[in-house]
Amino acid sequence: MKQLPVQNTQPAIEISDAELLTLKNGMQLYLLPANEFAVMRLTLLFRAGSSRQTIPFSASATANLLAEGADEMTAREISEQLDFHGSYFDVNTDRDYVYISFAMLSKFVPETLRVAEQLLLHPTFPEEEVETYRLKRKQRLKIERQKVDVRAREAFARAMFGEEHPYGQCFDEAAYDHLTREELVAFYRQHYTATNGFAVCSGRTGDKERKALCALLEQFPTAEPTPRPTFPAINQQREVRLKHEGAVQSSIRIGRLLFPREHPDFVGMQVVAAALGGYFGSRLMQNLREEHGYTYGVISAMVNFEREGYLAIATQVGTEVTEEALKEIYNEIERLRTEPLSEEELQLVKNIMTGEMMRILDGPFGIADVTIENILCGRTNRVISENVERIRKITPEEVQRLAEKYLRREDLVTVVVG
């Protein structure tokens, strides 16, 4: 057999800082030029996620209905123009933010930005579109909630933060009936402003593109930053079990409330999460899938919100082996707390994490995604090499110490649906 070739496992991982332009209205535009590509992507972020809403579903509905009609273009014209130029428009709402992206061919930048201007700055939220939306979403949510996985995700958020907490809340589909056009207009006016978000652009961005971007983004109104809502105290439930008629698999979520990304132990806990269930050969994957065949997959990761962060483990297992699987998961967590990882296993985890970072950074759109994450934590792209350095320096003793401190059995939240 031929020998394993020598491996370079310490590749340098760094990307340059984004160029920041502060526009006349206060809007911040970050540029990541990559002129060798004939494409461009513009992403806007606003602090307009569901934790900012007072009426259920109004945050996501506002974002999702932006393209359904504007002052000078109907919904049909908007979609026609985007489709005609092969441009992609995408919105995504999470608990804290709304993300709005336009991906386009460089040759169709002016045409795409003209549509962007209409739907970003002059949306009308037509009554009949709101009505269709309510109908379709209700049906979709009903279908979604037939899946054990979706029910587990929702129950887990409730158990972790409490039913009243904006990070834990889930609403009945009937709440869509109370969604009005007026509410969407008000939500849009309040949150989609120059001072309540920022923009990131990557790909080919020469002088022409810059001018066009500034001309578009400068039109957002300047407003007082919206006040940070006060969150109620977190109210956890340690264990929740829900029955799901006819399920052949149970969905399991186990987690521990920790801290957001700014915390000095966040990166260390990412290493712990990776060792536990962050890759194909992880402890949980080895145990539940490779040794026992209980599951098709299991994952653990650190999840980051603006104000909180937690470690979560997620899997679906055969209903008949649910109890065994739970026991094995707790055992694997306990093993991390009581024995240090071998040097070799830790080296593997480190290499996987750094390789993963390289893969995300391959291509202009991935670089933009990482830059956005960094901006949200108030950091420049230098934090990437700092984090890589931090990962490369961590010792088995430190991993054990972190697991010991943060993953005590009595602090874990467990949810099973099945």
Partner 1 sequence: MIPYQKRILKNGLTVVVNRDRSSKLAAVNILYKVGARNEDPDRTGFAHLFEHLMFRGTRDVPSFDLPVQMASGEDNAFTNNDYTNFYLTLPVDNLETALWLESDRMQGLWITPEKLETEKRVVIEEFRQRYLNQPYGDQTMLLRELAYSVHPYRWATIGRSTDHIEGATLKEVEHFYRTFYRPSNAVLAISADCDEEELFALAEKWFGALQDTPFTHSPLPQEPPQCAPRTKIVERDVPATTISIAYHMGDRLSKDFCTGDLVSDLLSGGDSSRLYQHLVKDERLFASVNGYISGDVDPGLFILTGQLLPTTTEEQAIEAFHRETAALKTIAPSDYELEKVKNKFEANTLFGELNVMNKAMNLCYYDFLGDLELVNREIDEYRAIDGERIFEFAERIFRPENSSTLTYRAR
Instruction: Give the interface size with partner 1 as a residue count (CB under 8 A).
Output: 68
Among 316, 381, 387, 414, binds partner 1 (CB under 8 A): 316
The per-residue b/e assignment along 315-351, b for 16 or more CB within 10 angstroms, e otherwise, is bbbbeebbeebbebbeebbeebbeebbeeebbebbbb
The yes or no reply on residue 136 touching partner 1 (CB under 8 A) is yes
CB of 292 to partner 1, least distance (A): 8
Contact 416, 241 (CB under 8 A): yes
Place of tokens 């995700």: 153
Strand-strand pairing, 39-46 and 197-203:
antiparallel
CB of 300 to partner 1, least distance (A): 16
DSSP state of 381: T
The yes or no reply on residue 80 touching partner 1 (CB under 8 A) is yes
DSSP state of 15: -
Question: Where is 112: in which H helix or E strand?
Answer: helix 109-121
Among 28, 237, 351, 385, binds partner 1 (CB under 8 A): 351
DSSP state of 290: I
Among 25, 37, 236, 242, binds partner 1 (CB under 8 A): 37
x/- map, 291-310, partner 1, by CB under 8 A: xxxxxx--------------
Upper half-sphere CA count for residue 258 (Cβ side, 13 Å)? 29
CB of 316 to partner 1, least distance (A): 5
Cβ distance to partner 1 smaller for residue 51 or 300: 300
Cβ distance to partner 1 smaller for residue 36 or 224: 36
Upper half-sphere CA count for residue 344 (Cβ side, 13 Å)? 1
Residue 180: is it exposed, middle or buried by C-beta count within 10 angstroms (0-12/13-18/19+)?
A: middle
Among the listed residues 209, 207, 199, the one whose alpha carbon sits nearest the alpha carbon of residue 105:
209
Among 91, 352, 370, 383, binds partner 1 (CB under 8 A): 352
Cβ distance to partner 1 smaller for residue 87 or 270: 87
Among 27, 45, 61, 103, binds partner 1 (CB under 8 A): 103
Compute how many other C-beta atoms are within 10 angstroms of the C-beta atom of residue 296. 11
312: left (phi over 0), alpha (psi -120 to 50) or beta: beta
Cβ distance to partner 1 smaller for residue 257 or 391: 391
x/- map, 47-76, partner 1, by CB under 8 A: --------------------x-------xx
x/- map, 162-201, partner 1, by CB under 8 A: ----------------------------------------
Identify the three-state secondary structure at position 42. Answer: strand
Near partner 1 in 242-271, by CB under 8 A: 246-249
Among 97, 188, 198, 279, binds partner 1 (CB under 8 A): 279
Compute how many other C-beta atoms are within 10 angstroms of the C-beta atom of residue 111. 16
Near partner 1 in 202-241, by CB under 8 A: none
Say how far apart CA 394 and CA 391 lie, in whole Å: 6
The yes or no reply on residue 322 touching partner 1 (CB under 8 A) is no
Say how far apart CA 418 and CA 315 lie, in whole Å: 12
Among 19, 239, 356, 411, binds partner 1 (CB under 8 A): 356
- Contact residues: partner 1, CB under 8 A: 1-2, 4-5, 7-9, 11, 36-39, 67, 75-76, 79-80, 82-88, 103-105, 132, 135-136, 139-140, 142-143, 146-148, 246-249, 279-281, 289-296, 316-318, 347-348, 351-352, 354-356, 358-359, 362-365
